[in-house]
Amino acid sequence: MANILIIDDEPSILESLEMFLGEKGHTVIKADTGEKGYALFAREMPELVMLDIRLPDMNGLDVLSKIRNIRHPAKVIMMTAFQDMETTIDAMKRGAYDYIHKPLDAELVEKTVNSALHVLKVDRETPRVNAEALPRDKDVIIGKSENMRRIFKMIGLVCQNRATVLIQGETGTGKELIARTIHRNCRFSNEPFVTMDCSASVETLLESELFGHEKGAFTGATATKQGRIELAGKGTLFLDELGELPRRLQSKFLGFLQRREFSRVGGHEILQSRCRIIGATNRDLAVLVKKKEFKEDLYYRLRVVAIQVPPLRERLSDIPELVKHFLQKINNDLQTDVTKLQNGVIDRLMTHTWTGNVRELENCLVEAVVRARGKVILLEDMETILDTDSGLDSEGLSGYSLPAMEKGHIEKTLRHLGWNRTRAARAMGISLPTLRSKIKKYHISEPSA
């Protein structure tokens, strides 16, 4: 049972809550002004505070801020007869555990009080996640599984030269992170690392993005522009979604790889490049070669060194270390202090399918940190997050939800058009970036042959 402080200027509220909570076994102390309530809190240090928004001497939100500044791990439940969006948002921003409305419903009061006390209990009993041994660099690759150790060895080998690298793996496995790690550990790490998404532009602009263009080369070309190859200098050019490179552009890019020479669009000057090329794709290029959608000679030029990134479901043993790493990164980015995991959270994460791979794991943890009402991620919150995510793929009633229907329509269109994103976006009447965003949102990936 807990010590509960009630701060409200209505005698009827004070009496009814004192009686109701007292019958549940709690010890209740009361105050009818903000100043009295704050003084009682500072002296008694209760576990829970039920605080009215409108008090005779001060705003309840200001009392909430003063209470939170004491840094005693109490939960504060705000109460009000006046419902408005701004006040609710402000209360939650200032650290309120919850926000309930008058007239008070006994069942809701009991549920909210029990929930707050449960979080406090779990927080007290749960040790902090030990992240001391983890590297501070948020871009480090985490993994101790055999699959990842093989990748680390390969990264070490290619760092000694400028060999072209092809990184293949499902969406969300960390292909760009591997490319950045290769660049960061090479002798030319002080040179530029330039990225280009081969699916982010229409075909007519991709050539200009890659090779650059001269002034007047086409309508709108008001000035000479360097392409990504030129911008990379002696560094690294990372080509993401390489499987989306249009067939016509594949031929020109192959010529560049063979001769290491190129010309800007509309230009005649022969330029040379020493940049390393690292390509990445979530599609099986060997299958695309068989379908005549990707040039065979370009495929072999690209896969001088091939790195196959395993999906998260094939390296589940890495999840505990990944969770520690992401919690450290998320807390730093969001300026939060959610450093605990309730018993059972890791076990639950180990049973999830992770169709979105490491990126999905990080996104789930971001949501869990945002949901947290203290320093601990609760198992029930993680269950809600994972069940919602899984609902996008489930059968039954959820199959009739708008997200599920949209996902099904996108998959059907992509399948019908041979997984060509440019054509699929055009067929659905949406932009290519919008399609890519939805593909990531719904964790859609082309099935392997």
- Average confidence (pLDDT) over 375-393: 80
Do 299 and 206 fall into the same domain?
yes
Examine residue 140 and state whether it is found in any structural domain, yes or no: no
Examine residue 163 and state whether it is found in any structural domain, yes or no: yes
Residue 64: C-alpha distances to residues 27, 80, 191, 285, 424 (Å): 21, 14, 51, 58, 52
Query: What's the pLDDT score for residue 445?
Result: 85
Query: What's the pLDDT score for residue 71?
Result: 82
Which residues are bridge partners to 261 per DSSP? 272
Query: CATH code at 78?
Result: 3.40.50.2300
Query: What's the pLDDT score for residue 18?
Result: 95
Q: Which pLDDT band holds residue 132 (cuts at 50, 70, 90)?
A: low
Query: What's the pLDDT score for residue 154?
Result: 95
pLDDT of 403 higher than 90? no
Q: Output 395 or 257, whichever has higher pLDDT.
A: 257
CA 348 – CA 320 distance, rounded (Å): 11
Q: Which pLDDT band holds residue 413 (cuts at 50, 70, 90)?
A: confident
pLDDT of 392 higher than 60? no
Q: Which pLDDT band holds residue 449 (cuts at 50, 70, 90)?
A: low
Please tell me which of 16-20, 139-143, 385-389 the model is most confident about, judged by mean pLDDT.
16-20
Please tell me which of 6-10, 242-246, 381-385 the model is most confident about, judged by mean pLDDT.
6-10
Q: Tell me the pLDDT of the chain averaged across its residues.
A: 89
Edge-first strand order for the sheet with 27-31 is 27-31, 3-7, 48-52, 75-80, 98-101
Q: How many domains does the chain have?
A: 4
Do 241 and 207 fall into the same domain?
yes
Q: What is the pLDDT of residues 21-77, one digit of tens each?
A: 999 999 999 999 999 999 999 999 999 999 999 999 999 999 999 999 998 889 999
Do 260 and 292 fall into the same domain?
yes
Phi then psi for 224, rounded to 5 degrees?
-70, 135
Residue for token pair 């499902």: 170
pLDDT of 233 higher than 50? yes
Examine residue 114 and state whether it is found in any structural domain, yes or no: yes
Name the token pair of 417. Answer: 């058009």
Instruction: Please give the full DSSP string across 14-74, using - where no structure is assigned.
Output: HHHHHHHHHHTT-EEEEESSHHHHHHHHHHH--SEEEEESB-SSSBHHHHHHHHHHTT---
Query: What's the pLDDT score for residue 133?
Result: 55
- Average confidence (pLDDT) over 225-234: 94
Residue for token pair 């001497």: 57
Q: Could you list the residue range(s) of the whole structural domain that residue 402 is in?
A: 396-441
Q: Which of 320, 302, 152, 159 is nearest to 242 (CA)?
A: 302
Do 168 and 262 fall into the same domain?
yes
Instruction: Give the DSSP letter of residue 398.
Output: G
Do 166 and 296 fall into the same domain?
yes
Query: What's the pLDDT score for residue 408?
Result: 75
Q: Which of 185, 137, 180 is nearest to 157 (CA)?
A: 185
pLDDT of 313 higher than 50? yes
Do 61 and 88 fall into the same domain?
yes
Examine residue 43 and state whether it is found in any structural domain, yes or no: yes
Query: What's the pLDDT score for residue 168?
Result: 95
Query: What's the pLDDT score for residue 402?
Result: 56
pLDDT of 375 higher than 60? yes
Query: CATH code at 205?
Result: 3.40.50.300
Percent of the chain with pLDDT over 90: 67
Q: What is the pLDDT of residues 250-306, one digit of tens each?
A: 999 999 999 999 999 998 899 999 999 999 999 999 999 999 999 999 999 999 999
Do 303 and 350 fall into the same domain?
no
Query: What's the pLDDT score for residue 134?
Result: 55
Query: What's the pLDDT score for residue 381?
Result: 92
Query: CATH code at 317?
Result: 1.10.8.60
Among left, alpha and beta (phi > 0; psi -120 to 50; other), residue 448 is beta
Query: CATH code at 416?
Result: 1.10.10.60
Examine residue 98 and state whether it is found in any structural domain, yes or no: yes
Which residues are bridge partners to 298 per DSSP? none
Do 35 and 87 fall into the same domain?
yes
Q: Which of 77, 256, 66, 62 is nearest to 264 (CA)?
A: 256
| Residues 124, 104 contacting (CB under 8 angstroms) | no
Decide: helix, strand or coil at residue 444: coil
pLDDT of 308 higher than 90? yes
Examine residue 298 and state whether it is found in any structural domain, yes or no: yes
Alpha helices in 185-246 (DSSP H): 203-211, 228-232
Q: Which of 72, 94, 122, 48 is nearest to 344 (CA)?
A: 122
Query: What's the pLDDT score for residue 396?
Result: 34
Do 189 and 282 fall into the same domain?
yes
**Domain final residue, candidates 96, 125, 154:** 125
Examine residue 73 and state whether it is found in any structural domain, yes or no: yes
Do 283 and 157 fall into the same domain?
yes
Percent of the chain with pLDDT over 70: 94
Do 54 and 170 fall into the same domain?
no
**Domain final residue, candidates 309, 340, 367:** 309
Residue 402 one-letter amino acid: L
Which residues, 6 or more positions from 84, have their beta carbon under 8 angstroms from its beta carbon?
none
**Domain final residue, candidates 280, 309, 338:** 309
| Residues 377, 338 contacting (CB under 8 angstroms) | yes
Do 282 and 151 fall into the same domain?
yes
CA 441 – CA 162 distance, rounded (Å): 35
Examine residue 134 and state whether it is found in any structural domain, yes or no: no
Name the token pair of 360. Answer: 């999905």
Q: What is the pLDDT of residues 154-198, one digit of tens each?
A: 999 999 899 999 999 998 999 999 999 999 999 999 999 999 999
CA 101 – CA 109 distance, rounded (Å): 10
Name the token pair of 390. Answer: 């899984």
